Amino acid sequence: MDGWQLGEFLRTRRSRLRPEDVGLVPYGDRRRVPGLRREELAQLAGVSASYYSRLERGHSRGASPEVLDAIARALSLDEAERRHLHDLASAAQHRPAGGRRPAPERATAAVRQLVSAMTDVPVVVLGRRGDVLAWNRTGHALYAGHLDPRSPDRPAERPNMTRLVFFDAHTRELYADWPQKAKDVVGNLRLAAGRDPGDPLLASLIGELTMRSPEFTTMWSDHKVRVCDVGVYDMRHPLVGVMTLTQQTLHTEEGQRVVMATAEPGSASQSALILLAQTVMSVDDTSATPKRKRLTDR
């Protein structure tokens, strides 16, 4: 399976290049495949055609970092795609032992302390598979006020960000440009799959998304990878209206992501974000029940 992912990634990246894009002379209109031929890509990378063909069949044993970098340059890969290629090649060489269910992820005490301290800034902690491990009250109100705020504390009930984006009506409505948000989360999931191909829970998540969502299947089959450490999104919140927010991500040593949302200083979006934080704090000071009712009231 891991070798298949390597081969599919190479084929899709090769198919998007035309001979004229890389300084080669095209052979008229008789090309039977989109993009470059294997022989052409091998020539650009400085490897034999038979060696590159083996890579596309998923046989990466013996592929050195230098060879992989040469292929990445020939394919005009960006930095995220180059790292993904190395991850896939490594996974194809060292197939992990299966059968063991990973232990539930947990945010460390230090990360939880950071999240709690940032009361005015929406913060969400995501695990390696996109599971919500923790959020502060403003983060919960911004992204998922219709869900139980205590759900991240119960591993079996944790929201998953990719599931929310594709299956949750509230989340779809939240993003004005939903397709762009969907592509971003799929690109991040591709990176996660390359880094940890033996994770059975990750494989199960991808299988579920593929079976239930034709939109996900189309985006997933494109093999695009994305590092979305900074993203700007127009969000339509049911309480405070439209906001343009910048989502920035910090990475922990455990491979988890701390996502924070901010707005341009002095903007209407910042005022709306402040209003959201104040509303959450004031309602939460009286009762948790009115808070949840108001956040789901449209």
Largest CA distance in the chain: 74
Q: Which of residues 132 and 294 earns the better pLDDT score? A: 132
- Confidence class of residue 285 from pLDDT cuts 50, 70 and 90? low
CATH number of 2-93: 1.10.3720.10, 1.10.20.10, 3.30.1490.20, 1.10.260.40? 1.10.260.40
Residue type, 176: A
Query: Would you list the domain boundaries of the chain?
Result: 2-93, 109-296
Which sign does the torsion angle of CA 159, 163, 167, 170 carry?
positive
Instruction: Give the pLDDT mean for 204-215.
Output: 95
Mean pLDDT within 121-125? 96
Determine the Cα–Cα distance for residues 46 and 40; give it in Å rounded to an integer: 10
pLDDT of residue 1: 46
Q: Does domain 109-296 have CATH number 3.30.450.180?
A: yes
pTM score, two decimals? 0.81
Is the predicted pLDDT of residue 144 greater than 60, yes or no? yes
- 97: pLDDT strictly greater than 70: no
* Confidence band for 227, pLDDT divided at 50, 70 and 90: confident
Residue range 105-129: average pLDDT? 92
Could you tell me which residues come within 8 angstroms of residue 125 by beta carbon, excluding any fewer than 6 positions away?
Answer: 107, 111, 112, 115, 132, 133, 134, 135, 152, 256, 257, 258, 259
- Mean pLDDT for 168-194 is 94
Average pLDDT of the residues of the chain: 86
pLDDT at position 148 over 70: yes
Neighbours of 124 (CB within 10 A): 26
Q: How many CB atoms lie within 10 A of CB 163?
A: 20
Residue 180 C-beta-side C-alpha neighbours within 13 Å: 10
The answer to whether 203 touches 98, Cβ cutoff 8 Å, is no
